[in-house]
Amino acid sequence: MTTDPRTGMTVLDEDACWSLLGSASIARVAVAIAGDVEVFPVNIVVDERTVVFRTGEGTKLAASVIAPRVAVEADGVDPARGRAWSVVVKGRAERLERFTDIYRAEDLALPSWTEHPKQWFVRVYCDQITGRSFQTASA
């Protein structure tokens, strides 16, 4: 990890990024669809350096399986240390279709904001993870 003495911003290494992402239950998925950009909050769980989330069938977010390149962002503030952090995973989103994959995903402790009758599981395979932390201005 390297910290810029001028800005106080720290570039996080991969292990730190995965650790912080694993502590987040909510993230936002961004996807470019037909010249537009969509961004949605989702509940996530990290599973062996992939990101798993659920989405309702037929939602715009389900279109992420058509435009499989997605960015998943989570952020938070550690009040004790006065530092904010943000982590972004970029990668390929894949809807789980095989029963074994779906059963495995159902065993993950994936929180849900809401209940929908039909839900898909989507797994994001990471090409790149980046993160940074910085002192909050109020600290």
123 near 51, Cβ under 8 Å? yes
- Show the tokens assigned to 127: 């090409």
10 near 2, Cβ under 8 Å? yes
Dist. CA 79–CA 120, nearest whole Å: 35
Residue 31 touches its own copies, criterion: CB under 8 A? yes
Residue 59 touches its own copies, criterion: CB under 8 A? no
- Show the tokens assigned to 24: 């987040």
Residue 136 touches its own copies, criterion: CB under 8 A? yes
Residue 109 touches its own copies, criterion: CB under 8 A? no
Output Rg (C-alpha) for the chain, integer angstroms: 16
Select the span of 13-21, 47-55, 95-103, 105-113 touching its own copies (CB under 8 A): 105-113
Among positions 9, 62, 63, 102, the unique one binding its own copies when judged by CB under 8 A: 9
2 near 21, Cβ under 8 Å? no
Nearest approach, Cβ of residue 100 and its own copies (Å):
25
Residue 69 touches its own copies, criterion: CB under 8 A? yes
Among positions 1, 66, 108, 116, the unique one binding its own copies when judged by CB under 8 A: 116
Dist. CA 37–CA 34, nearest whole Å: 8
- For its own copies, the binding residues (CB under 8 A) are 6-9, 26, 28, 30-32, 35-41, 69-73, 75, 84, 86, 88, 90, 111-117, 134-138
